[in-house]
């Protein structure tokens, strides 16, 4: 395998395959993109870490889209961060925001884990392929377990693909600059024979009486790949001096790893005046009238990018009525 430079490539997803283990995966590194999202909103550190993990996970999942479409990760929970949304718009745009209670975040303390800050509720993963195609949504309960474990549950239950995900976030200082970085690694076991994909059952918990947990052994190739991924340390996912290629080589060089063309990402919102008008069309005339300020204008702030739109109420009504836009 070639090692194309020792420097990590930021804001990019690197697909790879370990054919000897029937494994495919992706590695992601976010630098300026995640730092811009966090800085734009001025999120406190604890919130920044959760949104960094969510953005890395979204990039890992969304970058598999082969079409023009959108992948969305959304959590709705009862924790200090009660709403978190990350959008991946194919082929390369990422945006995110979190809604949180600053007092509860502060009270949770510096040692709070992401799972504690999200609390209980659910994680929804939605693929929207445009008006011509049906959308797909998978939902996983969040019960304090955090996003890595929720991703494992999603793939186990909804996709039935043995999957391992690692996520890491850090605020880095040095060289007079500082910024947030996030990284992730996802590995999936995709043998040609589905028979080899069996997974041990989850703890049956409150399963009905008579439920018998299967104890089929997992496939040796998957056990090996999974065990290797479990050795990945957080700094290997985010260190600017460790390229994704180098991490993959460390993990899989004995089996041979093939990397494919990296895909660049960028932080970009898709809000526009046209989309605001389209949104206004979904409200009643009375609701729109209630939005108009004393100056005769409607102010709308995009939650993702904080861009402020100020629209003349009369123009909004004319455009809503015209159905153009």
Q: Which residues bind Zn ion (CB under 5 A)?
A: 269, 271, 302, 304-305, 307
Token pair of 269, please? 């919102």
Residue 243 to residues 122, 162, 175, Cα–Cα distance (Å): 33, 25, 19
CA–CA distance, 257 with 16 (Å, rounded to integer) = 7
Tokens 């303390």 correspond to 109
Of residues 122 and 275, the one with the C-beta less far from Zn ion: 275
CB of 161 to Zn ion, least distance (A): 33
Tokens 């598999």 correspond to 64
CB of 147 to Zn ion, least distance (A): 23
- Strand-pairing partners, residue 173, are 178
From the list 229, 231, 299, 309, the residue with the least C-alpha distance to 60 is 229
Of residues 302 and 313, the one with the C-beta less far from Zn ion: 302
Strands (E), 190-285: 258-259, 263-264, 266-267
CB of 39 to Zn ion, least distance (A): 15
260 contacts 282 by C-beta, under 8 angstroms: no
Of residues 22 and 267, the one with the C-beta less far from Zn ion: 267
From the list 152, 172, 181, the residue with the least C-alpha distance to 56 is 181
CB of 308 to Zn ion, least distance (A): 10
Of residues 268 and 292, the one with the C-beta less far from Zn ion: 268
Of residues 57 and 305, the one with the C-beta less far from Zn ion: 305
Token pair of 143, please? 């019960």
CA–CA distance, 170 with 172 (Å, rounded to integer) = 6
Of residues 256 and 299, the one with the C-beta less far from Zn ion: 299
């Amino acid at each position: 395998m070639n090692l194309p430079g020792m420097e990590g490539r930021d804001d990019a997803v690197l697909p790879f395959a370990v054919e000897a283990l029937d494994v495919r995966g992706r590695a992601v590194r976010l630098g300026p993109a995640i730092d811009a999202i966090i800085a734009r909103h001025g999120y406190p550190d604890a919130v920044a870490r959760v949104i960094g993990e969510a953005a890395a996970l979204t990039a890992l999942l969304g970058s598999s889209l082969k079409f023009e479409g959108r992948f969305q990760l959304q959590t709705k929970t009862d924790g200090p961060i009660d709403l978190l949304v990350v959008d991946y718009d194919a082929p390369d745009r990422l945006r995110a925001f979190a809604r949180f209670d600053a007092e509860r975040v502060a009270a949770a303390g510096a040692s709070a884990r992401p799972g504690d800050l999200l609390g209980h509720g659910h994680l929804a993963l939605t693929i929207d392929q445009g008006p011509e195609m049906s959308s797909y949504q998978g939902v996983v309960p969040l019960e304090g377990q955090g996003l890595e474990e929720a991703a494992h549950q999603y793939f186990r239950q909804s996709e039935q693909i043995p999957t391992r995900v690692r996520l890491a976030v850090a605020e880095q200082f040095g060289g007079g600059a500082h910024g947030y970085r996030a990284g992730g690694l996802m590995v999936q076991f995709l043998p040609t024979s589905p028979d080899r994909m069996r997974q041990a059952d989850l703890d049956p918990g409150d399963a009905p009486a008579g439920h018998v947990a299967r104890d089929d052994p997992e496939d040796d190739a998957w056990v090996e790949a999974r065990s290797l991924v479990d050795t990945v340390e957080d700094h290997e996912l985010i260190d600017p001096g460790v390229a994704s290629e180098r991490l993959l080589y460390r993990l899989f060089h004995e089996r041979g790893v093939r990397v494919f063309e990296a895909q660049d990402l960028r932080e970009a919102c898709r809000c526009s005046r046209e989309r605001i008008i389209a949104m206004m069309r979904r409200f009643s005339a009375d609701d729109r009238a209630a939005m108009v300020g004393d100056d005769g204008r409607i102010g709308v702030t995009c939650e993702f990018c904080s861009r402020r739109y100020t629209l003349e109420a009369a123009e909004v009504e004319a455009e809503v009525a015209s159905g153009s836009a």
